[in-house]
C-alpha cells in the first residue's frame, strides 16, 4: 500500500503527518514503528493521523515512535498547521486529541494551542511533578547544556516511583529575562528529543513556583517556545503553548 505523508517539525520535535480522512491507514503498530524508524523508515518522534470528526474541525490521532499513544503539544501545533493546509480549518480551530478537545489559533507558521488546566502540582525532594496532558518530572539544575540527559532521564523514567507507566523527564536551567532552558527525555521515544511541548509547558508552570511570570520564554535545543498561563488555587488555568510549526517535506512510501 502506498501512503502519502508530510514531514513536519515543531522546534526540532519531528512528526509524520498523514491525511487519513478516508480511514485507509493500516491498523498495525509495526507500521507506525517502521515509519518512525530513522534508519528503516521516514524517521520521526511521532506519527499523526488527521481524521474527520462530526463535532470538531478535525481529530488528531497521535502515536509515539514506539506505537504508544499520548497527548503531544508540539504535535498538536503541527496538526493544526497541516489541517489548515487541507482546508479543514481556518485561523481558529477546535480539534479532538487523545486527551479530549483543544482550541488553537494559527497565524502564518505560528500556532498557539490551549492545554487543559492543571489542578495539582506535586513538589518532590528532587524536583516537581506536573501532568500537562502527559506526565512530567521536572528537575532544576545548572549547566543543563552539558548534563547527561539520556542516562539520567532514563533512570528516572524507569524508576520505581513512576512504575509501571513511567514519566517524561525534564532538566531545567533558569535564565535571565523570564526565560528557561529545557532538555527532555521523552517516554515513548525513549531518548532525548530536541523539544517537548507538554514538557516545556510543565517546566514553565514549575518555574512560576520560583517567581517566573507568564508568559515564560522557553529555549530548547530545537528552538524557542512561549508558554502563557494564569495561576489558580492549587494549580494553573488558561494554559497556552505557542511556537512555530514547520513543514519540511512530503512524499510517498510503501507500507
- Indicate which residues carry an active-site annotation: 72, 196
Q: In angstroms, rounded to a whole number, what is the distance separating the alpha carbons of residues 209 and 66?
A: 34
Cα separation, 248 vs 182, whole angstroms: 24
Residue 178, C-alpha cell as written in the block = 523570564
**How far apart are alpha carbons 228 and 209 in whole angstroms?**
14
Q: Backbone phi, then psi, for 34, in 5-degree steps?
A: -65, -45
Q: Where are the alpha helices (DSSP H) in 72-113?
A: 73-85
Distance CA(248)–CA(91), nearest Å, equals 21
Amino acid at each position: 500500500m502506498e501512503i502519502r505523508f508530510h514531514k513536519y517539525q515543531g522546534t526540532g520535535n519531528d512528526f509524520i503527518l498523514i491525511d487519513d480522512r478516508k480511514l485507509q491507514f493500516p491498523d498495525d503498530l509495526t507500521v507506525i514503528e517502521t515509519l518512525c524508524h530513522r534508519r528503516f523508515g521516514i524517521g520521526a518522534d511521532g506519527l499523526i493521523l488527521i481524521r474527520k470528526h462530526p463535532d470538531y474541525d478535525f481529530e488528531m490521532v497521535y502515536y509515539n515512535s514506539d506505537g504508544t499513544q499520548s497527548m503531544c503539544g508540539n504535535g498538536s501545533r503541527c496538526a493544526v498547521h497541516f489541517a489548515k493546509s487541507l482546508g479543514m480549518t481556518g485561523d481558529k480551530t477546535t480539534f479532538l486529541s487523545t486527551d479530549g478537545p483543544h482550541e488553537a489559533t494559527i497565524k502564518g507558521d505560528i500556532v498557539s494551542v490551549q492545554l487543559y488546566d492543571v489542578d495539582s502540582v506535586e513538589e518532590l525532594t528532587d524536583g516537581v511533578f506536573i501532568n500537562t496532558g502527559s506526565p512530567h518530572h521536572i528537575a532544576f539544575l545548572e549547566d543543563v547544556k552539558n548534563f547527561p540527559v539520556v542516562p539520567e532521564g532514563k533512570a528516572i523514567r524507569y524508576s520505581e516511583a513512576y512504575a509501571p507507566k513511567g514519566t517524561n523527564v525534564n532538566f531545567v536551567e533558569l535564565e535571565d529575562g523570564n526565560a528557561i532552558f529545557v532538555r527532555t527525555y521523552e517516554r515513548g521515544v525513549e531518548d532525548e528529543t530536541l523539544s517537548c511541548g507538554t514538557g516545556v509547558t510543565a517546566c514553565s508552570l514549575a518555574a512560576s513556583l520560583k517567581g517566573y511570570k507568564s508568559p515564560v520564554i522557553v529555549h530548547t535545543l530545537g528552538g524557542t517556545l512561549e508558554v502563557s498561563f494564569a495561576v489558580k488555587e492549587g494549580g494553573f488555568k488558561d494554559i497556552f503553548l505557542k511556537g512555530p510549526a514547520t513543514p519540511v517535506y512530503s512524499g510517498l512510501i510503501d507500507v
